[in-house]
Structure 1
Amino acid sequence: MDKWLIKRTSKDPGGGSPNNASQIKRIKHVVLDNSVASTMTTTVTSNISCENNAATSSTSSVITIDDSRATSSSTTITISHNSDDCSSIATSTLHIDTESDASTSIKQATATSETTGKRQRIFKESYIQFGFKCTVLNFEQRPQCVICSEVSANESMKPAKLKRHLETKHPQLKNKDESYFKRLATKLTTQQVDFQKYTTVNQKALQASFEVSFLIAKNKKPHNIGETLILPAAMKIVSIMQGEKYANVLKTIPLSSDTVHRRINLLADDIKIQLIDHVKESPYYAIQLDESTDVANVAQLLIFIRYRYENDICEDLLFCQGLKGRTTGEAIFNAVNTFFELHDIKWEYCVSVCTDGAAALTGSKTGFKAKVTEIAPHVGFVHCMIHREALAAKHLQPDVNKVLEQVVTIINFIKARALNSRLFKIMCREMGSEYENLLLHTEVRWLSRGKILRRVFDLKDEIRIFLLEREPKLAEYFLNENWLATVGYLSDIFEKLNDLNLSLQGKSTNVLILANKIKAFCKKISLWIDEISAENYEMFACLEKFSEENNIKLEEEIKTKIMMHLTNLKQDLEIRFPDTSYGDQWIINPFTCDLNTVKMNLKEKEQLIDLMSDESLRSIFKTTDLSKFWIMTEKNYPLLFKTSLLKLLPFASTYLCETAFSTLTAVKTKYRSRLNVEPDLRVPVSDNISPRINILTASVQSQGSH
């Protein structure tokens, strides 16, 4: 028999009533249930008293240890005592150490205590003759039938009642001897231990299933990759590194296509639930929305929302929904409004809506804007600033646009024909050219115009030689110096417009910052016009290179054409981007603003003066994100905080929708055209909110791999 050394420490965190101090708690029974193989009973004497020291008493407690197949050498049992004589709970801890040839493990430890006056029956080993073993529920000993596993109340722990259960429900076994019931008790206990082990393994497999499903969705992969690639690859790796035994454990991870699909749905739902809660906590919010058609010709409506959460301004995908029928402004509004009503999101807290300027979204009578204005007239509307810049860039005067069309014709003649493309590539390779291919121009890829024109300009000699053999009429353009100078200028100006467009893209942008970038570009245009008048082309690399290499002076006609285009471009940008941020520049930098130019009332100006004099905030401002900085001022400068939040929340572009559409095309392909896209889209585009996998694991029933 194992030798058990039992030590007991007790502490009472609270005091008791002086009148009832003599009432002493008694530990009735402690059961450490591992198996029924061997049993040892030890009696421990313990002292428990209340803090008022009104009385102290000793009581005897019986500890029954059922020990078999143990694997640990020590355990600690915490016992709580409730009594009328103490206003708090006293806690006793039993430290049990064992010295044994075999290591011991105690699977379950429970303690039952009661105050004087409340009787609680104690299980006796002789009850096994009636087919009952002891189990503990809610710190209370209860008899459990070893035949049907039924657990009875503590009050039923009487020989007569236990015998009646045996004779009534199991009459065919009433004549069995005690050894028979002991074998059943051992079997039942073993099953319980094995079930606990199985449950632990299954929970780990379930968690692994969620983690792998999350990675599959995050990387926009098909659901069946879990069972066709990831699991076999993992098993192969583990088999090589650790052995076949450990590799077989991975088979319990459920990663079938249907299982991964369900996991991703749960992950997306959890992200959505958290997002809705965050939005409801925010005092205001702004949205951006756009609509596009997927590979299955389904019109997908995407909405992103920007909101304040804790100490930052966050932006996430609110929802993605396929629209049936015509994508009218009313249909879009009904989809958005239904979602808002379903999740209790109020229009009154919406400060801005950003769209791409489509008629269905901006129509003043039947468009989405008109419908929103009817119920929330305070909502502001922003036309995507990236889209506005693109419209201005595409506007060319006729003579300049004609040159661009001629370049496109030449590119398509070479690039769009397979034979010409191969021959041109061979020729460029033989000539040792830096490039071997032209870039194909399409209207959709307007952002690449600068790169396309630059490639044509760099390969102008190779193109001329190739066209002399294939299409002499097109080769004549490359003999015209004015035409080549215009191509060089277009290459330069479109590269600068592309750089401007890229600077407008990105997450966490706002109207104030992007408006400043547009104003800066307009000032550069004015500078360029002055430099061209002085015959300085340094800002246009291709044009300057062409002029120097050929030792030519640009004709007045070309100079006038370039200056006219720049002037029209500046005017177009100023019309599309009116200066509405005047008076709000203090939000960008409150420490350098001019109080005479700010749009504020007296109290706001007073708070701004106080803030400008706050040296601690000045140092923080230099190293802190703009949104986080203004949220930090909420307590001390509430008026400035509210005004800045209303200006920083509105989206400046539909960039998030555009990038999400790119993700959508990767998720919903022609091979997965029937996919319900929202869950698989929400997971990869949600960067601010992570799914609570531990909660999901606990809430889902475990299943083996199939």
Structure 2
Amino acid sequence: MSKKRKYDDSYIKWGFMKFVEKDGTERPQCVLCYKVLAEASMKPSKLKAHLASTHPTHQNDSEDVFRSKKARFMAKGSLTRHGFQPSTKPILEASYEVVLLIAKDKKAHTIGETLVKPCAVVMANLVCGPEEAKKLKSVPLCNNTIKRRIEDMSKDIVAQVTQELRESRCHFSLQLDESTDVASCSQLLVFARYLAGFAVKEEFLFCSPLKTTTKSVDIMNILRQEIEIFLREKGNDLADYFGDPVFVARLAYISDIFGHLNALNISLQGSSLTIVEAAERINSLREKLRLWSNCVEKRSFVNFPELAQILVDDDAQNDFCSTLVVDIKGHLKSLSDSFDGYFPNLSVDPWIQDPFTILIDDIDDDNELKDDLIELKASGRLKMQFSTVASPSEFWASNYEAFPNLVAKALRMTLSFVTTYLCEARFSALVVMKTKLRARLDVGPDMRVALSKTAPRIKRLVEEKQEHPSHRV
């Protein structure tokens, strides 16, 4: 049977007091958010991590400040001490909570008054009675109220994220992309990846309309050329091309090569991909392209199954295979060269990806990080932690306090965005929110509340406002 951890009075300096279960088990409870942590968190490192990640603005508060908060907390009664806090402005708080749900689901602002409240009133009337239903009627959920609530929560989220970026101990990375909404307005989406406390966080920053044009002369020239080709060929019988074995073979090759490129593209998607991993995957494909070129020169098309199927007839191969080999080798060389500019001169220390497989003797003795790497590699606990984390970034972020110099260098590489995956994936939210019926919507606050991982501090917003029940019935 495992030994139960005991609370130490010194834990108050990190903002934690003692919470006792019915069976006598002691657990740490935060005096700032009143959250009761697991018994396993009854250790300084876990308590400090909670304070740094959840309440970064209070990290420098004195012990007296926390003891004062504890005294006020204990004076509020038993329900409060067990984590229950009755709202002093229930109608106002309910309004904010419902609006948050509406925003997260990307619904129109009118749904609060036209559907949500009527449904709630009907259910309360049938299940709880007329008096309770009457209380729900007073919750303000009209269109303008929802708009103001979303703007309030958006500003609060901005304040929290800005504070986190300001207090981040490492540099941060930005990802941005633009798309056109239903009103033909170009919208710019921006995300950030940064160190928040002891964790890497990816957060939505803003969605803002671009006032200037995004048209490109190069894009227009390409379109013009494509249209010209289309118009010139429109009068031809395209079916004739499919009787040409050279055309069919080239088409099969293009199908195969796009299959390989699509597989690479899929492997480069995802929010946790690092620039190191992306470079490795692209370099891997470049090596494959060289291999495939050598195979094609030997008239081996095993890496191009569609083409191999077309060329299964040896007699057909003899007529045009030489020309096809030259064309494919030229295209593979061109494709390989096109990858040169993606990660030019990217030099990455191998320990960043895996600090436990490197050879210490391979590191220069003059390297100031060598001592830290020796200490880190000798830790069985950290080795076990590394084997369970989702990414190297997560491992380094969680060990910033123990190895600040190592972590700072590692995160300079792993925090960088590689693609615009986050922006592209979130443009679907823009399409849902800004429809023809909502073409004039300032979508920025709605996007922030819907997409942000940072929760708005509704109780703080409620405390700053007067409660005004709805007069609509």
Normalised to the residue count of structure 2, the TM-score between the two structures is: 0.70
Change (3 A) 1:604 1:573: same
Between structures 1 and 2, the one with greater helix share:
2
Question: What's the counterpart of residue 434 of structure 2?
Answer: 668
CA distance in 2, matches of 1:235, 1:545: 66
C-alpha deviation, 1:588, in angstroms: 0.8
Query: Greater shift after overlay, 659-668 or 486-495?
Result: 659-668
Question: What's the counterpart of residue 309 of structure 1?
Answer: 196
Change (3 A) 1:251 1:529: same
Change (3 A) 1:584 1:673: same
Alignment of 1:505 with 2:392, yes or no, is no
C-alpha deviation, 1:663, in angstroms: 2.6
The AA in structure 2 aligned to 1:676 is D
Change (3 A) 1:652 1:601: farther
Query: Of residues 218, 223, 229 in structure 1, which corresponds to 2:109?
Result: 223
Deviations along 1:176-235, one digit per CA (max 9) or x if unpaired, are xxxxxxxxxxxxxxxxxxxxxxxx898333322212211221122211111122222333
C-alpha deviation, 1:327, in angstroms: 7.9
Alignment of 1:265 with 2:151, yes or no, is yes
Query: Of residues 388, 392, 403 in structure 2, which corresponds to 1:623?
Result: 388
Query: Of residues 658, 675, 680 in structure 1, which corresponds to 2:424?
Result: 658
Larger relative contact order (Cα-Cα within 8 Å, sequence gap ≥ 6): 2
C-alpha deviation, 1:702, in angstroms: 2.0
CA distance in 2, matches of 1:515, 1:597: 23
Question: What's the counterpart of residue 636 of structure 1?
Answer: 402
Q: Which has the larger radius of gyration?
A: 1
C-alpha deviation, 1:487, in angstroms: 1.2
Change (3 A) 1:557 1:237: farther
Deviations along 1:318-372, one digit per CA (max 9) or x if unpaired, are 23333445789xxxxxxxxxxxxxxxxxxxxxxxxxxxxx99xxxxxxxxxxxxx
C-alpha deviation, 1:309, in angstroms: 0.8
Contact 2:199/2:398, CA 8 A, preserved across alignment: no
Question: What's the counterpart of residue 275 of structure 1?
Answer: 161
Deviations along 1:606-629, one digit per CA (max 9) or x if unpaired, are 322332333322221111131221
Contact 2:276/2:348, CA 8 A, preserved across alignment: no
CA distance in 1, matches of 2:431, 2:300: 46
Change (3 A) 1:474 1:583: closer
Contact 2:193/2:202, CA 8 A, preserved across alignment: yes
Alignment of 1:557 with 2:331, yes or no, is no
Change (3 A) 1:478 1:641: same
What pairs with 1:300-379 in structure 2 (closer than 5 Å)?
A: 300-324=187-211
Question: What's the counterpart of residue 72 of structure 1?
Answer: none
Q: Secondary structure at the match of 2:339?
A: helix
Query: Of residues 234, 240, 244 in structure 2, which corresponds to 1:480?
Result: 244
CA distance in 1, matches of 2:282, 2:188: 29
CA distance in 2, matches of 1:260, 1:409: 51
Alignment of 1:535 with 2:299, yes or no, is yes
Contact 1:292/1:299, CA 8 A, preserved across alignment: yes
CA distance in 2, matches of 1:314, 1:201: 31
Deviations along 1:78-136, one digit per CA (max 9) or x if unpaired, are xxxxxxxxxxx9xxx9xxxxxxxxxxxxxxxxxxxxxxxxxxxxxxxxxxxxxxxxxxx
The AA in structure 1 aligned to 2:355 is P
What pairs with 1:88-487 in structure 2 (closer than 5 Å)?
A: 203-239=89-125, 246-283=132-169, 284-324=171-211, 473-487=237-251
The AA in structure 2 aligned to 1:528 is W
Normalised to the residue count of structure 1, the TM-score between the two structures is: 0.48
Deviations along 1:360-416, one digit per CA (max 9) or x if unpaired, are xxxxxxxxxxxxxxxxxxxxxxxxxxxxxxx9xxx9xxxxx99xx98x889x97xxx
* RMSD across aligned positions (CA): 3.6
Question: What's the counterpart of residue 517 of structure 1?
Answer: 281
CA distance in 1, matches of 2:257, 2:456: 46
The AA in structure 2 aligned to 1:539 is N
Aligned residues: 378
Query: Of residues 352, 366, 381 in structure 2, which corresponds to 1:587?
Result: 352
C-alpha deviation, 1:682, in angstroms: 0.5
CA distance in 2, matches of 1:275, 1:249: 35
Q: Secondary structure at the match of 2:467?
A: coil
CA distance in 1, matches of 2:437, 2:145: 19
Change (3 A) 1:586 1:256: same
In the alignment, structure 2 segments of 5+ residues that lack a partner are 1-70, 76-85
Contact 2:429/2:447, CA 8 A, preserved across alignment: yes
Contact 1:202/1:704, CA 8 A, preserved across alignment: no
Between structures 1 and 2, the one with greater strand share:
1
The AA in structure 1 aligned to 2:308 is E
Contact 2:99/2:150, CA 8 A, preserved across alignment: yes
